[in-house]
Structure 1
Amino acid sequence: MKINDALRLIAGIMLIISLLLTHFVHPNWVFFTLFIALNLLQSAFTKWCPMITILRKFGLED
């Protein structure tokens, strides 16, 4: 698996988890969804994502 594939998979899983937590646990979990969205937006403009740094340390290929 390449880094971009893993990054999209992780982002999708995190969004699903945060929405499920919002629906079933507490409405304030929506702020976790907001955090994920803001991180995706900032990475689009800065071309830097903390998760990519972590995935590279795990040895995933670009």
Structure 2
Amino acid sequence: MSLDKAVLAFAGTMVLISVALTFWVSPLFVWFTVFIGFNMIQSAFTGFCPAAMIFRKLGFKAGCAFN
């Protein structure tokens, strides 16, 4: 799996988890969803993505996410 695919899969998983927590645990977990969305937007503009840095250290190689 490429680095790009790993980051997309991680982001999608975190969004689904945060929505489930909002629905079943507390409506305040919606702020977790907001944080995830904000982080995705800022990484699109700045290129800074903590998840990508972690996945890179775990051995994922950069590559096109859609090949």
Q: TM-score range by the shorter chain?
A: over 0.9
Specify the alignment match of 2:49 in structure 1: 49
Runs of 4+ in 1 over 4 A off after TM superposition: none
The whole-number CA distance in structure 2 between the counterparts of 1:13 and 1:47 is 20
Give, as a single letter, the amino acid of the residue that structure 2 aligns with 1:16: L
Task: Give the drift of 1:47.
Answer: 1.0
Task: Give the drift of 1:43.
Answer: 0.2
2:9 matches 1:9: yes
Deviations 1:3-41 (A, max 9, x none): 000000000000000000000000000000000000001
Percent identity of paired positions between Structure 1 and Structure 2: 45
Superposed CA RMSD in Å reads: 0.4
Gaps of 5+ in 1: none
The whole-number CA distance in structure 2 between the counterparts of 1:49 and 1:3 is 11
The whole-number CA distance in structure 2 between the counterparts of 1:30 and 1:37 is 11
Work out the number of aligned pairs and report it.
62
The whole-number CA distance in structure 1 between the counterparts of 2:47 and 2:25 is 34
Specify the alignment match of 2:22 in structure 1: 22
